[in-house]
């Protein structure tokens, strides 16, 4: 705050009286600073004796506080100038490191990306940018890189507010070349449907949605061209739907058309660097999931697939089972779908032969006892799966009896979630018996299973012991590593 008045002060004093004026001004300012902190240039100009030509040349020699140091350095002035004109004439790499730091501290966060994107790599600047734009900034989710965070969120914001056939495509294409290098993850939380009627407003999406009514199929934003420009994209999540619609609900807002499906499938297939793909809450039904998975088969890098909160049925589950053995998928999330016993059979068959899959989430499906038994039988043969979630699947005692067998034989599984399945006290007993012979399972969720308090307590004790053992083991491993 102290600098700009100084510059103004300097520029205001006439060219003829630069020397004395400055010295006096400096002294005066220092005095005023000492008194009330922030000096007003106007008042200083008024108080300044140099303004009066008669007293201009008088030098107060006794002034003990006067010093040359108060005169701003030329470098400081230059830096101020550079900062002010950074948008038009960006100078950064030519500066010395300490000057560069100063410039980076001061330049505005509103400078267009076109200028800053490739020029500035300083995290401090991007931190300022992020903080200026968003309230909540968790940099740990972005690998500790503020710049990455800024660009990813920026692009997400643009795509989330992109209205097909209305918004100019340039908005996206302008940003892509600038940010392509820094983006590793895209998590699109909503996609707006195109607007049919001219009267609709652009900004209020919820209103447009409500007034559209049950119209014909509408296609969403196309990702193909975006993916081409993102060479480092590793994680991609998308939801074909509108966020926070509240009471303005319209079916139309949540439509995932066949064309959308085809386009996104092709885009994902073409993106060879992609590792994680999330397609949640998008009303993906059997046909679409089959189209999608047919494109994902043999993808070179895909390790995580999330299709939760969709409408995948048995045939879709069959396709998913096929995908498990024809890709490198390690984690598959199919929670909250409509998979029944036949689908579970298919998935179980795939898992029994698989050696890559580690996490499988089938929460909130309709597997039933048949499906649950199929999955558990698969676990008897499988030796790679570590996490399994089959909560809320309408299972009962028979599944628990097979699962107890699994617990005695399988030594790789770590986490089992059986919550919200009516196992009953007998099932709980069986599970307890299974657990007593097991030493690897670390977590087992038996909430709302009516398994009986006694068995639940016993199982929890065993789990605790297993966890302690595991911790000891890990500590030892770490020590060994350190010592080696």
H helix or E strand, kind and range, residue 23:
helix 18-36
List residues bridging with 52 in a β-sheet: none
Query: Between residue 13 and residue 32, which ones bind another protein under the rule CB under 8 A?
Result: none
Residues in contact with 389: Cβ distance below 8 Å, sequence separation at least 6, in sequence order? 335, 360, 361, 362, 363, 415, 416, 417
Please select the residue that binds another protein; options are 100, 147, 299, 363, rule is CB under 8 A: 363
Among 48, 265, 393, 455, contact with another protein (rule: CB under 8 A): 393
Determine, following the binding rule CB under 8 A, whether residue 290 of this chain makes contact with another protein: no
Provide the β-strand partners of residue 304.
Answer: 276, 331
CB of 161 to another protein, least distance (A): 25
Only one of the segments 14-22, 79-87, 226-234, 362-370 lies at the binding site for another protein (rule: CB under 8 A); that segment is 362-370
Minimum distance from CB of 293 to another protein (Å)?
25
Radius of gyration over every alpha carbon of the chain, rounded to an integer in angstroms: 33
Query: Please, which residue, 113 or 420, has the CB nearer to another protein?
Result: 420
Q: Which of 83, 262, 380, 448 binds another protein (CB under 8 A)?
A: 448
452 contributes a contact to another protein by CB under 8 A: no
Find the binder of another protein among 211, 219, 287, 445 (CB under 8 A).
445
Classified as helix, coil or strand, 391 is coil
Contacts of residue 388, defined as CB under 8 A and 6 or more positions apart, other chains included, come to 359, 360, 362, 375, 379, 413, 415, 416, 417
Q: State the Cα–Cα distance between residues 264 and 465, nearest whole angstrom.
A: 47
Q: Compute the distance between CA of residue 5 and CA of residue 197 in angstroms, rounded to an integer.
A: 54
Part of the chain binding another protein (CB under 8 A), chosen from 34-42, 69-77, 169-177, 389-397: 389-397
Q: Least distance to another protein from the beta carbon of 169, Å?
A: 36
Does position 364 interact with another protein (CB under 8 A)? The reply is: yes
We find the least distance from the C-beta atom of residue 195 to another protein, in angstroms, to be: 26
The CA-to-CA distance between both ends of the chain, in Å, stands at: 56
Please report how close the Cβ of residue 392 comes to another protein at its closest, in angstroms.
4
Q: How many Cα atoms occupy the beta-carbon half-sphere of 72 within 13 Å?
A: 20
Question: Which one of 134-142, 227-235, 284-292, 440-448 is the stretch in contact with another protein (CB under 8 A)?
Answer: 440-448
Smallest distance, another protein to C-beta of residue 307, A: 18
Candidates 446, 354, 461, 352; CA nearest to 400 is 446
β-partners of residue 443 are 415
Binding another protein (rule: CB under 8 A), the pick from 232, 447, 465, 474 is 447
Stretch that binds another protein, among 271-279, 369-377, 390-398, 432-440 (CB under 8 A): 390-398
What is the closest distance, in whole angstroms, from the C-beta atom of residue 215 to another protein in the complex? 21
222/5 Cα distance (integer angstroms): 51
**Closest to another protein by CB, 265 or 333:** 333
Q: Which residues pair with 331 in a beta bridge?
A: 304, 359
Which residues, 406 to 435, sit near another protein by CB under 8 A?
Answer: 419-420
Identify the residue among 366, 374, 388, 434 touching another protein (CB under 8 A): 366
Q: Which 3 state secondary structure label does DSSP give 405?
A: helix
Shortest distance, position 463 Cβ to another protein, whole Å: 10
Binding test (CB under 8 A) with another protein, winner from 343, 391, 427, 428: 391
Q: How far is the CB of 334 from another protein (least distance, A)?
A: 15
Question: In the complex, what is the shortest distance from the CB of residue 419 to another protein, in angstroms, rounded to a whole number?
Answer: 5
Of 9, 239, 392, 399, the one binding another protein (CB under 8 A) is 392
Nearer to another protein, 293 or 362 (CB): 362
Q: Which is nearer to another protein, 265 or 393 (CB)?
A: 393
Contact in structure between 354 and 326 (CB atoms under 8 Å): no
Q: Whole-angstrom Cα distance, residue 216 to residue 196?
A: 10
Q: How far is the CB of 348 from another protein (least distance, A)?
A: 20
Across the beta sheet with 185-188, the strand order is 185-188, 235-238, 276-279, 304-306, 331-333, 359-361, 387-389, 415-417, 443-445
Nearest-angstrom CA–CA distance, 65 and 31: 8
Which stretches of the chain bind another protein, using CB under 8 A? 363-364, 366, 391-394, 419-420, 445, 447-448, 467
């Amino acid at each position: 705050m102290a600098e700009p008045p100084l510059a103004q002060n300097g520029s205001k004093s006439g060219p003829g009286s630069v020397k004395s004026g400055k010295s006096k001004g400096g002294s005066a300012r220092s005095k005023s600073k000492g008194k009330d902190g922030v000096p007003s240039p106007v008042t200083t100009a008024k108080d300044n004796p140099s303004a009066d030509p008669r007293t201009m040349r008088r030098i107060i020699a006794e002034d003990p506080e006067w010093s040359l140091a108060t005169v701003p350095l030329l470098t400081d002035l230059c830096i101020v100038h550079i900062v002010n004109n950074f948008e038009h004439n960006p100078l950064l790499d030519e500066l010395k490191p300490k000057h560069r730091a100063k410039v980076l501290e001061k330049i505005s966060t509103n400078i267009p990306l076109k200028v800053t994107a490739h020029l500035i790599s300083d995290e401090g600047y991007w931190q300022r940018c992020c903080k200026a734009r968003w309230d909540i900034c968790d940099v740990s989710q972005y690998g500790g890189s503020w710049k990455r965070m800024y660009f990813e969120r920026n692009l997400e914001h643009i795509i989330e507010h992109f209205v097909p056939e209305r918004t100019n495509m340039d908005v996206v294409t302008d940003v892509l070349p600038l940010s392509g290098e820094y983006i590793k993850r895209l998590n699109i939380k909503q996609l707006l449907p195109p607007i049919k009627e001219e009267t609709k407003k652009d900004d209020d999406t919820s209103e447009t949605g409500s007034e559209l009514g049950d119209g014909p199929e509408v296609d969403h934003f196309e990702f193909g061209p975006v993916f081409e420009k993102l060479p480092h994209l590793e994680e991609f999540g998308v939801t074909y739907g509108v966020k926070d619609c509240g009471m303005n609900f319209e079916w139309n807002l949540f439509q995932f058309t066949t064309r959308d499906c085809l386009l996104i499938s092709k885009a994902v297939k073409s993106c060879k660097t992609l590792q994680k793909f999330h397609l949640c809450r998008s009303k993906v039904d059997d046909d679409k999931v089959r189209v999608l998975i047919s494109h994902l088969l043999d993808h070179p890098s895909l390790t995580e697939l999330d299709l939760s909160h969709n409408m995948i049925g048995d045939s879709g589950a069959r396709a998913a089972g096929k995908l498990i053995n024809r890709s490198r998928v390690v984690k598959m999330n199919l929670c909250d779908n409509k998979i029944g016993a036949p689908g579970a059979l298919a998935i179980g068959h795939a898992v029994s032969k698989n050696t890559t899959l580690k996490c499988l989430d089938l929460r909130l499906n309709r597997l039933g006892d048949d499906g649950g038994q199929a999955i558990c039988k698969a676990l008897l043969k499988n030796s790679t799966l570590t996490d399994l979630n089959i909560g809320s699947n309408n299972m009962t005692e028979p599944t628990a009896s097979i699962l107890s067998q699994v617990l005695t034989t399988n030594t790789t599984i770590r986490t089992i979630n059986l919550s919200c399945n009516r196992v009953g006290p007998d099932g709980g007993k069986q599970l307890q018996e299974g657990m007593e012979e097991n030493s690897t399972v670390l977590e087992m969720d038996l909430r709302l299973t009516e398994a009986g308090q006694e068995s639940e307590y016993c199982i929890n004790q065993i789990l605790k012991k297993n966890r302690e053992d595991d911790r000891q083991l890990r500590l030892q491993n770490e020590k060994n590593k350190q010592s080696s």
